[in-house]
Structure 1
Amino acid sequence: MRSYENILKKIEDYSATLGVIGLGYVGLPLAVAKAQAGYRVVGFDVDTERVNCLQAGSSYIRDISSDDIKDQVVHGRLSATNDFSIMKRLDAISICVPTPIDKYRQPDLTYLNAAIKEIVIHLPSTMLIIINSTTFPGTTEEVVKPIIEKKVGAIGEDVFLAYSPERIDPGNRQFQIKGIPRIVGGVTKQCTTLSARLYEKVLKEKLYRVDSTGIAEMSKIVENTFRLVNIGLINELAVLCHKMNLDIWKVIEAASTKPYGYMPFYPGPGIGGHCIPVDPHYLVWKAKEYNYNTQLVEIAAQVNESMPSFVVFRMTMMLNEMKKTMKDSNICIIGAAYKKNVSDLRESPVMKIFELLELYEVNWSYHDPHIASIDLFEKNSVALEPNIMAQQDLVVIATDHDCIDYQCIADHANVIFDTRSKMSTMKCQGTYVKL
């Protein structure tokens, strides 16, 4: 009980030293928020370049300004390191490492297990450990807890363990780390209380406490599975509407006039990022342990994964109408990131489109103001200029970044295929076609 009271006191009076493992899109905003709240924060990452960048007061993530980082570094509230022995000085630590899926679409806990191993090696006598990385229900209790208990005995006496799923939307200026309700569930009530109080002090708002780590883990999976299924539905309807010669975008607009029982989702070239294409597969995998097949989830994933191929099929048909073939055609893809206003290529459906264009020997290029080059294809982003647009047989809007000069495309592209309906209200000098 003394350990619990000691950690709680340090949280309440801001004397606790906090750690964050993994300084990416999730970990860095969390580390900065904790430092801004008044705590001393140490960020851990195996990427030396990231560590050096933060130590110099610079940001490598668009949602976090260098000024915010520099201010915390200068005042001694934020530091970064790859020396994990410093964990011995911490009172609490948050784990924000990647939890991808492998080639068999099964959970890959390599990074999480590595983080837990470092914590166990350097564990102080008392510590609060919070897992933020998205993972399958049961990970905290069935995977992480036994590893820690081998070192310290029962959780909830000197070491406390909880799960609080990250809720962050890269590139979204309206919803960032603060202002989004946070969920937390601990192995014991004391674990839940400590975690909740820490995040309440950091985010300056009440948290939603749940009865177990499993409920907290499942809640995040449900959020992203909900989106996967609904996006899969609207993508399937988009394909059908194309066959029926109906404008799916106008269909959605009409359906959206209903004030209840409907929520608009929009089609596109596929889904990407670190959440929606990945997290539901945790559920599919875990369900098999209970001899249950999540058929709807799997079908929705298949529909979404088929969209890059459908986009390329549409491109082929458009070129055929012009009596041209895909091979040797000049095609410029606008946008490479998985969503607008980010520089993230993870699971981007546009990368799959690029792969197909390579297969068909297309003379393709891309323009993305957030991604200067793509090493996999040895390509650099081309300038969006009138002569370059005019030289293309086809210009494809794949990612609808706000900062793109769409007027230049409208004025100079001969044929535009818009998978995002971004230019539907613009006057185009050439042929304009929507997904």
Structure 2
Amino acid sequence: MFSLNTVLFVCAIFAVLYAPRAFAWFASLFPQKRLYNDKKNKLALFIPARNEGKNIIPLLESIKAQTYDADCFDTFIAVKDPEDPVYEYAKIVNAEVYCDVTQTCKGDCTDYTFKKILEKYPKKYDGFIIVDADCLLEKTFLEEMNNAMASGADVINAKKRVRNYYQDGGKNSNLVTACNGLIWTFMDDMGNRFRSDHNLTTMTVTTGILFTRKVVEEMNGWCYRKTLTEDMEFCHDSILKNRKCFYYSYAMIYMEEAPSLAETNKRRSRWMHGLTHSNYIYFADLIKNRQNKPVVNFYFMFSLWLVYLFVATLIGMAAINLVCSALAIGFGEPVNWEYVISAGAAVFAIYAAFFILTAVALFINRKDIKLTKLGFLAVLFVHPVFYMGYIPIVAKAIVSKNDKQWDAIARVQTDSSEVFSE
């Protein structure tokens, strides 16, 4: 069985191994340098909109309100149903609508639409931007994405905020949305900012993201459809192809969070299955890769596996201690409190690690998180438990086959189509 000292030793080893990643959490405490672009790039804004209905209207209104010159961008929408009402809503921004009746995932409609754009408008667009239909754009989003192109990057990630805080007086914001919304802080402010500053491959989410024409032509559309998370496939392959990635915090997009735990877990499960299986697909090639600071890139790309190992080790130790103690009691031995306490300490160590992560995230992104003081305290203590909910999801993703079903996520019904501005 395992003693308390063993638990502490495991925690110490993990702290050392994870220290570089933890150091990166604080990069966004320093203002990012603003970029300005004299060139007005021509942009193609693409919206995957399968069965979105009226949910797409607020996004279209936010596109209509963009400060970027309307002559410098066009909007394209992809649907699955030729009778989709989005055909009518698209008139709000004079968008072109393409219907891909065979699509089974986001990657399919992205490939279909990008190929149509390349065929119909060869060499017209300098950048291709993907935005999901449940998002909203800051008024300056396209203007700032154009500014970010002055970086010379092949891929540009925007900053993601939680839409629920800002719309309808926050009525669709609750403890679930607040807890799950921290994922964007972890990814952007505590991850992509450091990676971008050090010319590392950023964590990709295919919404609020720009690809240069060179990248889209290289892919001849969109070629990543092996898993549920085509964005992680792109991310891993970007290391192999030495693509320059950039995160720009001044280009902002608002992400909708599902207010129910069931819908949130559906999204978490889909994400982790895709992420894990993308790891499997690209692991060997990434090991062989010798481009663009491979060791550092590899470490940051797979640092989550350190967390998996840490959690699995402590859970295993706790389980063994409890089982052995129970067996001893069954044979008439007295309760061995040392091992019961050690088991509890192992579980608490997981909670404590996630508590520290939560506290840092709430501090770093405190200006974007619209909560009362009581709300901040609730998230501080509840989010570590919420995050521990990933444990069975990740365990299933690691051992199961890749489920490629593209389940719809319930949309939040909003009362307004207000457009946000700093």
TM-score (norm 1): 0.23
Q: Which has the larger radius of gyration?
A: 1
The structure with higher relative contact order (CA 8 Å, sep 6+) is 2
TM-score (norm 2): 0.23
Larger helix percent: 2
